[in-house]
């Protein structure tokens, strides 16, 4: 199967974790897009009653398009589940996220959820995090100084992400610095703490101790991996 088919299989399979009456975090990315499309179908044609909280403007627009009722996170007592994608996950279910530049909102929503279900294709499973450049959301103010500080902490090259030739602006008005550490992130919790100690760093694309389930699509089918198995 091609990659897009694998993504669709994982995205649709994750809908099994959504029940009637739930408050659901809606992630961002090319795999969870299929989850949102399927949830929209269930809402419109099978009477599923849920409230969604989007993690990006793009996800908000897609959810509106397919008819999923939305609410602000502040107006809810919490979320039952968040379904999101990942750029990498390791054997301990630690994640790298932020390839879609939505990591700050994604982490806020994940922390407010009782359970995090991640959808992924087999390319995202790694032994050690870091082959995918680590996204770090930083403030526009003196971003060059923050970039150099990140390079000092991690000992690797850091590049500023661009879009259409200009520095990318996140939905929050910040920039994304991508750290090219390579597969060396064996202590993601310690690295996250060190980076967050830098004043110009808003959030780090390491999602530690958040993921409970990975819906993994591969050429041999869809597997459900649960933390601790």
Rg over CA atoms, the chain:
17
The string of DSSP codes covering 35-62 is HHHHHHHHHHHH----EEEESSHHHHHH
Rounded to whole angstroms, the Cα distance separating 113 from 213 reads 13
Q: Which two tokens stand for residue 52?
A: 């969604």
Catalytic residue among 9, 38, 106, 137: 106
209 CB-near residues (< 8 Å, 6+ apart): 94, 189
177 CB-near residues (< 8 Å, 6+ apart): 135, 136, 137, 138, 143, 146, 147, 150, 158, 159, 160, 161
Has 106 been annotated as catalytic? Answer: yes
Catalytic machinery residues: 106
């Amino acid at each position: 199967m091609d990659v897009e088919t694998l993504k669709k299989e994982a995205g649709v399979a994750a809908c099994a974790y959504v029940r009637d009456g739930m408050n659901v975090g809606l992630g961002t990315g090319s795999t969870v897009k299929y989850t949102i499309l399927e949830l929209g179908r269930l809402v419109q044609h099978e009477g599923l009653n849920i409230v969604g909280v989007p993690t990006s403007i793009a996800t908000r627009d897609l959810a509106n398009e397919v008819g999923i009722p939305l609410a602000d996170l502040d107006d809810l007592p919490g979320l039952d589940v968040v379904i999101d994608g990942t750029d990498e996950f390791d054997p301990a279910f630690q994640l790298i996220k932020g390839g879609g530049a939505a990591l700050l909102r994604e982490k806020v929503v994940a922390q407010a959820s009782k359970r995090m279900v991640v959808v992924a294709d087999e390319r995202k499973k790694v032994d050690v995090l870091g082959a995918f450049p680590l996204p770090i959301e930083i403030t526009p103010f003196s971003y060059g100084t923050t970039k150099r500080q990140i390079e000092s902490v991690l000992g690797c090259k850091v590049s500023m992400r661009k879009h259409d030739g200009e520095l990318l602006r996140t939905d929050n008005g910040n920039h994304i610095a991508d750290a090219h550490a390579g597969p060396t992130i064996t202590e993601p919790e310690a690295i996250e703490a060190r980076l967050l100690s830098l004043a110009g760093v808003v959030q780090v694309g390491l999602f530690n101790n958040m993921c409970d389930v990975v819906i993994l699509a591969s050429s041999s089918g869809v597997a459900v991996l649960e933390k601790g198995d």
